[in-house]
Structure 1
């Protein structure tokens, strides 16, 4: 093989690797992830349509925690630039007299579209789950959607704390 051909192949392979790396999402900066988590939690706790996408419409108010793991556009560096948030979500239904340990809860990965009003997409159960994940989430996030929270016990503790705080403020 000639030197020129080997050099051309090396350049082509290097360009392919650079293109592959460009397609991978960088982890969200912690401050941006925290700000977007607040947006997600607010959507599910205050918007009945968002909450109903997660649970049937006859449930009580939700208390949630979120852990965003991706955004669109991928180049967004500020919350104001984000149009879609891909996130792990953990919620409990807050009802009078029902303690946290007995409250109905749900965990999922969801897409929150920052439209007016906010719209959400939640993968279905059973046979619909995999096709929904493939439709809702960008291909480079498919595997991440199965991971949920990076630290599930910490998410559960955070939810229990928020549940207690909101239950106390409701009883006042």
Structure 2
């Protein structure tokens, strides 16, 4: 009787585990109604948590932190419907260096289109500024996204949120 009961319990636990794994996989594969929000949050986190060395590797030189606004405009694959499917995010960004100035308007900022590989570790690619910049953007960003790559932020919400985080970071740094 005990062997049968143990076998039944083991079977139930195994079945529950398989069902849970299946549901988790199914939910992760469902289209995300807020995919752009999730991607923006992911890329913002990647940029804001990058070390000074990582920032230096893509052309930025500073020792303090950054606060960023991010607005995705494309993904690879282009038909990705959920965060788990996305390999690359193409986004416009604006990052302000904290510690240089307590005022967002006077802060040192970097902005423009970027490509971010969602991986461990993530990879951030920023087109080098200067002469030939538009061509470098076109080399970095797939052709289907060239038009949005050169557009401004379509919504001020991301920039406003970054300004608020910048003000908070500046006030706590004092």
Identify whether the pair has TM-score above 0.5, normalized to the shorter chain: yes
Structure 2 counterpart of 1:99 = 103
Show the counterpart of 1:38.
41
- Counterparts of 1:92 and 1:34 in 2: how far apart (Å)? 20
Residues 50, 34 of structure 1: alpha-carbon distance in 2 compared, 3 angstrom cutoff: farther
Q: What stretches of structure 1 of length at least 5 have no aligned partner?
A: 1-27
The counterpart of 1:133, out of the listed 133, 137, 147, is: 137
Structure 2 residue ranges without an equivalent (≥5): 1-30
**How far apart, in 2, do the equivalents of 1:159 and 1:166 lie?**
10
Shift of 1:170: 4.4
- The Cα offsets for residues 94-122 of structure 1, whole Å up to 9 and x where unpaired, read as 10763323211121110001132111111
Deviation of 1:32 (Å): 0.5
**Larger Rg over CA atoms:** 2
Contact 1:33–1:68 (Cα < 8 Å) also in 2? yes
Aligned length: 143
Equivalent of 1:76 in 68, 74, 80: 80
When residues 158 and 53 of structure 1 are mapped into structure 2, their CA distance, relative to the original with a 3 A threshold, is farther
TM-score, length of structure 1 as denominator length: 0.72
Assess, with a 3 A threshold, how the Cα gap between structure 1 residues 30 and 106 changes in structure 2: closer, same or farther. farther
- The RMSD of aligned alpha carbons is 2.3
Equivalent residue, structure 1, for 2:150: 146
Check conservation: 1:44, 1:50, Cα contact below 8 A.
no
Cα pair 2:44 2:69 within 8 Å, conserved: yes
Distance 1:72-1:97 versus aligned 2 partners, 3 A rule = closer
- Assess, with a 3 A threshold, how the Cα gap between structure 1 residues 87 and 133 changes in structure 2: closer, same or farther: same
Deviation at 1:29, TM superposition (A): 6.8
TM-score (normalizing by structure 2): 0.72
Structure 2: distance between partners of 1:59 and 1:30: 37
